[in-house]
Amino acid sequence: MNYTPVGLPHFLVLSAVLLVLGIFTMLTRRNAIAVLMGIELILNAANINFVAFARYGAINLGGQIVAIFVIVMAACEAAVALAIVLNLYKRQGSINVREAHKLRD
């Protein structure tokens, strides 16, 4: 059994696992805040990819700067989504995403 040192594929597989866990969280949770947590997992997976390519690829610091932008976008998204979730809770008494279709009425 030969040992391969940690390189770019290891980081990419880690971020793939994190992405899949995030997608599974988004698909199966009924709590809106848990869905938001899944989105955060997915954004973190994307960020690991950016930084791994910044370290091993030909883009030197561009990947890290894009990752900073992604972090800022995640902060925006969390703020707006939390405001929407709080309004949803005020309006219908629960944050079950299955009941959000009642907003059409």
Partner 1 sequence: MPQLFDIFFYLFAAAIVASAAVVCFSRNIVHAAFSLLFTFFGVAGIYVLLSADFLAVSQILIYVGGILVLLVFGVMLTNRVTNIDLRSALGARIPALIICGALLALLVSILIPGHWISFSDTPWKGSPWHTNAIEQVTKVTQGAAREILDHQGSYGTASEIGKLLMTDYLLPFELISIVLIVALIGAAMIARRESNSSTQSTLSTRKFKEEAAR
Site residues (CB under 8 A) for partner 1, limited to 54-93 = 54-58, 60-62, 64-65, 67-69, 71-80, 82-87, 89-93
Task: Between 16 and 100, name the residue whose CB sits nearer to partner 1.
Answer: 16
Q: Work out whether 100 is an interface residue with partner 1 (CB under 8 A).
A: no
Site for partner 1 in 4-33 (CB under 8 A): 5-14, 16-25, 27-31, 33
Beta bridge pairs of residue 31? 96
- Which residue pairs, CB below 8 angstroms and at least 24 apart, start in 56-64? 56/7, 56/8, 56/11, 57/8
Return the SS3 of 50: helix
